[in-house]
Amino acid sequence: MGLLLLAPLLSVYVFHTLGVPGLLEHNGLCGWGWCAPTTFGWLVTAAFLLIGTWLIAWAIASLTTRVAAL
């Protein structure tokens, strides 16, 4: 359960690894520690969370309307 809750918050690091610029402070070069997300990084994380939540809710609603129609 912890991985499901932590995965969306770690998405900013995945997007940084994929090459999206401006997500981490100091361009991801923070020495031994993990860099904190920038404001843009937090906005991307929030958008990712909202879109993911919306898609899950849409899928659940789609399944329940098909069952009710039968």
Which residue, chain included where needed, has tokens 């898609």?
55
Cα 19 from Cα 4, distance rounded (Å): 24
Q: pTM score, two decimals?
A: 0.76
- Please give the single-letter amino acid code of residue 8: P
Which residue, chain included where needed, has tokens 């937090």?
42
pLDDT band (50, 70, 90) for residue 32: confident
pLDDT band (50, 70, 90) for residue 7: confident
Which has more confidence, 16 or 3? 16
